[in-house]
Amino acid sequence: MVQPTESPAQGAQVTLRGQYLAEHTLYLDNRVVDGKVGVAVLTPLRDTHGQLWLVQRGFLATGPRREAPHVDTPSGVVELTGEWQEVQAGGPLYGENREGVRLQQLSHEPWHASLGSFSYSGWLHASEGDGVLIPWWEANVMPPSRHMGYAFQWWGLALAALMVMFIGGRKLRRDKAQQSV
């Protein structure tokens, strides 16, 4: 999809043109790429239609320090491409989500007070284009063949359990009949 004006489907390849809102950049904490500790850079983008998107620009190595990270952001009109991910329920969160400019969980909430709502409920995992850093995110997609494998495995286990119950039941009846003689 190029410059969409409606919400992209989960996993859609999306190309956007617009301006980064660099002053609203936040960082998703505790990412690891190639053994290096760092953050994922999250920068809102206003596209040429005036829509507001959240863009996950990639990985920035910070090391073990807890200083506020900083990344250069291109100004002017940029173009980038990536994979769209819809908002999903977050995992457990212990404490506040936001610590300065660092986030513990990916959420639209930290931008509501300053920017209002994003145009669509999700974010773009940018993989190429202006201001894109080292990609760290990969979709966790299980192929249909894997689902079929699990289905056969569970049906096989159910069949084995049924056979054990049938054979065991016959043996119990036979033993009970021998005891009553």
Using CA atoms, how far apart are residues 106 and 103, in angstroms rounded to an integer?
7
The alpha carbon of 43 is separated from its chain's Cα centroid by a whole number of angstroms, namely: 16
Please give the sequence-ordered ranges of beta strands (E in DSSP) within 50-97, or none if there are none. Answer: 52-61, 78-86
Cα–Cα distance for residue pair 71/127, rounded to 1 Å = 17
Amino acid type, 52: L
* Spatial separation of the C-alpha atoms in residues 47 and 39, rounded to whole Å: 24
At 142 the pLDDT is 64
Per-residue pLDDT of the chain (181 residues; tens, 9 = 90+): 999 999 999 999 999 999 999 999 999 998 999 999 999 999 999 999 999 999 999 999 998 888 899 999 999 999 999 999 998 877 777 788 899 999 999 889 999 999 999 999 999 999 999 999 998 877 666 666 777 788 888 899 999 999 999 998 888 888 888 887 7
> In the chain, what are the domain boundaries?
13-129, 142-181
- The pTM assigned to this predicted structure is 0.75
Which pLDDT value is given to residue 22? 97
**What does the longest C-alpha to C-alpha distance in the chain come to?**
95
